[in-house]
Amino acid sequence: MKLITDKEQLLSNIETVENYVAEGTDFEKTAIRKLIANGRCLVAYKVGKEVRFASSRFLGYVNNTLRKHLAARENREVDGKETNPAISQSIGQQLFQSEELEKKYLHYCSNLGVEPANHKNRKYWLLELESDFKENSLLEGEFPEGKVVERIHKTRERNSKVVAIAKENYKRRHGKLFCQVCEFDFEKEYGEIGKDFIEGHHTIAVSEMKEGHITKPDEIALLCANCHRMVHKKRPWLTMDKLKSLLKKTAKRTVLERT
C-alpha cells in the first residue's frame, strides 16, 4: 500500500474514517471504531472546541478503505513503523504524549460506545482544522458531545427499522401519531401533509449501549422537532416524564404571569 505524502491525503482519510464511524454499515462502524479504540498512535484533530481521533495505521496509506486495510492487515502489510514517519513528515510534526489529549481520547471512545485498549503511553499528533468536513457542517451542533456523535444519532434515527415499528405500534394504540411530550399533532396543524409525521428519538445513547445491544421499539420516543431538540440539550438525556414536567411548569408560570 502506498504511504501518504501530504496533509491533504491525511485529511481525506480522516473524512473517510468519520463517514464509516457515523454512517457506515454495521460491519464498517464496528471495524473502524475498534481501530480507533485499539490505537497506540492517533491523530487528534480539533474543529472549534471539539477534538476527534483516528488511528495512524489507517490514516497513513493513500485513499485507504476498510476493505483494503483489513486485507492488508491480514497479509501483515500494515505497519505503524512506516505509517508514523509518513504522517509526521506529511504534517511536519512529531508524535508526543499528552495527558490532556489522553483524557479527551478516552472521552471520545466513550461517546462512540467502545472500550479503549489498555495501552500505556499512547502518543498523538494534533491538527487544528480551519473548517469541518462537509457532512458535519450541515448539522446544527445540538449535541454537546460533538458533530460526529450527532451524525451517529441522526443516522440511527433516519435509517432504523425499529423507528418505523415504534410508529406503527404507537399509531395502533392511539389511532394517530402525536408528540409524546407536548401532544403536538402535525396532521391537526398542517392537514394531510402532516399525516403520520413525527420524529423518532433513540432514548439510549450509543455510549450507554452494551456490546451487541439491539434497540427495541419501546426504546424509541416519538417527538415533535421542538421536544426532540430539548431532549438533546442535556446529558444525560431528559426522560419524557422529566420533559413533560418542565413543560407543565413553564405553562403554569406563563399563566400566573398573565393573571
pLDDT at 30 over 80: yes
Q: What is the mean pLDDT of residues 6-21?
A: 96
SS (H, E, C) the chain: CCECCCHHHHHHHHHHHHHHHHHCCHHHHHHHHHHHHCCCEEEEEEECCEEEEEEHHHHCECCCCHHHHHHHHHCCCCCHHHHHHHHHHHHCCCCECCHHHHHHHHHHHHHHCCCCCCCCCCEEEEEEECCCCHHHHCCCCCCCCCHHHHHHHHHHHHHCHHHHHHHHHHHHHHCCCCCCCCCCCHHHHHHHHHCCCCEEEECCCHHHCCCCCCCCHHHEEEECHHHHHHHHCCCCCCCHHHHHHHHHHHHHHHHHHHC
Structure confidence at residue 211 (pLDDT): 67
Q: What is the mean pLDDT of residues 130-137?
A: 89
Give the residue with greater pLDDT, 123 vs 143. 123
Q: What is the pTM assigned to this prediction? A: 0.78
Highest mean pLDDT among 76-80, 136-140, 182-186, 228-232: 182-186
- Express each pLDDT in 51-73 by its tens digit: 999 999 999 999 999 999 888 88
Give the residue with greater pLDDT, 140 vs 47. 47
pLDDT at 231 over 80: yes
pLDDT at 255 over 50: no
* Percent of the chain scoring above 70 in pLDDT: 95
